[in-house]
Amino acid sequence: MSIRKAAVQGRFYPSSSIQLRKDIEGYLSAQSVQNASALPAVNVLIAPHAGYVFSGAVAACGYSRVSKNIKTVFIIGPPHYQWFDGVHISAADYFETPLGKIELNKKIIEQLKDNPLCNTVPGADEKEHCLEVQLPFLQVLFNNITIIPVLTGKVDSDVFAGMLLPFIDETVLVVASSDLSHFFNQEKARAVDDESISTIMAGCIDGFIDGCGETAIRIVMGLAQRLGLSPQLLDARTSYQTAPQYGDSDRVVGYASIVYVNKEDCRAGD
């Protein structure tokens, strides 16, 4: 049994299982999140992947909307430490966090690996945080799920979206793990992020997006179009807005929580 150990516990989120669960439950129970939870459940979302003190509250807005029927989760994010062609899917049997182990869905992974775009790149996910930070949210929400963790290298997002389509049903969640702009001042960051969000909301897959998980976002956009889903923006803030005590307005990172719903469930102003 191969276990991919937690790499960023104690840095991006607490290493104590008790504190970690308490923090996530706190994010999910915030009043703004409670309001979101009354809206239609979703199976596709875009969530940030920074340290929880910065992005946890934004991520929780999307996770509060996730369908209760989920059994399998695709987590798609960018590699921060290695670059490669195609996509990387871990060879591990489990990913581990302080909340326990999550099993990888080997059946789906083996089917994906029949396509030459899907590889296992040695060490690609060993230090990677973009997949790991999504896991504790899933562990608090669900008791028994499997995951397919995917890192995107040089790959056509529309082609990969088409590859995922046969695996999607009401029990499958797809998460695009991405922060938005990096290290602009507050005013510039909000302007850049607003332009990226406008692209996502318009469903313009080839449009402007400034985000480390740009490819993951475009994959989700392509998948949503195939499924007839429309985006809803739940929250968009920078690290200075969420945690001003840990930085200043001259160097910030942008975050957004965006979910996809059936077009008939879209509401003006959401």
41 half-sphere exposure, CB direction, 13 A CA radius: 10
pLDDT tens digits for range 163-182: 999 999 999 999 999 999 99
Q: What would the mean pLDDT of 198-213 be, rounded to a whole number?
A: 98
Is residue 73 classed as helix, strand or coil in its secondary structure? strand
Does the pLDDT at position 264 exceed 70? no
Q: What is the mean pLDDT of residues 39-63?
A: 94
Residue (of 28, 30, 31, 29) closest to 47 by Cα position: 28
Mean pLDDT of the 62-67 span: 94
Query: Which residues, listed in sequence order, are joined to residue 255 by a DSSP beta bridge?
Result: 237
Q: What is the pTM of this model?
A: 0.94
Please report which confidence band the pLDDT of residue 269 belongs to, taking 50, 70 and 90 as the band edges: very low
Spatial separation of the C-alpha atoms in residues 187 and 9, rounded to whole Å: 31
pLDDT given for residue 33 in this prediction:
65
Helix axis angle, 157-164 relative to 214-227, nearest 10°?
50
How many CB atoms neighbour CB 31 within 10 A?
7
Q: Is the pLDDT of residue 32 over 70?
A: no
Burial class (CB in 10 A: 0-12, 13-18, 19+), 187: exposed
Question: DSSP label at 264?
Answer: G
The distance of Cα 90 from the centroid of its chain, to the nearest Å, equals 17
User: What pLDDT is stored for residue 37 in this prediction?
Assistant: 60
pLDDT mean over 45-50: 98
Across 247-267, average pLDDT: 88
Residue pLDDT, tens place only, 91-125: 999 999 999 999 999 999 999 999 999 999 999 99
Cβ atoms within 10 Å of 218's Cβ, excluding its own: 27
Q: Which two tokens stand for residue 88?
A: 């990387």
Per-residue pLDDT, 247: 84
pLDDT at 197: 98
Structurally, what CATH architecture does the domain formed by 3-265 represent?
3-Layer(aba) Sandwich (3.40)
Q: What is the pLDDT of residue 270?
A: 44
Percent of the chain exceeding pLDDT 70 equals 94
The per-residue pLDDT for 40 is 78
Task: Name 9's bridge partners.
Answer: 13
**pLDDT at 9 (0 to 100):** 98
pLDDT value for 34: 66
Separation of alpha carbons 63 and 49, rounded Å: 13
Is the pLDDT confidence value at 59 over 50? yes
Element (H, E) at 94: strand 94-97
Average pLDDT for the chain: 94
Confidence of residue 268 (pLDDT cuts 50, 70, 90): very low
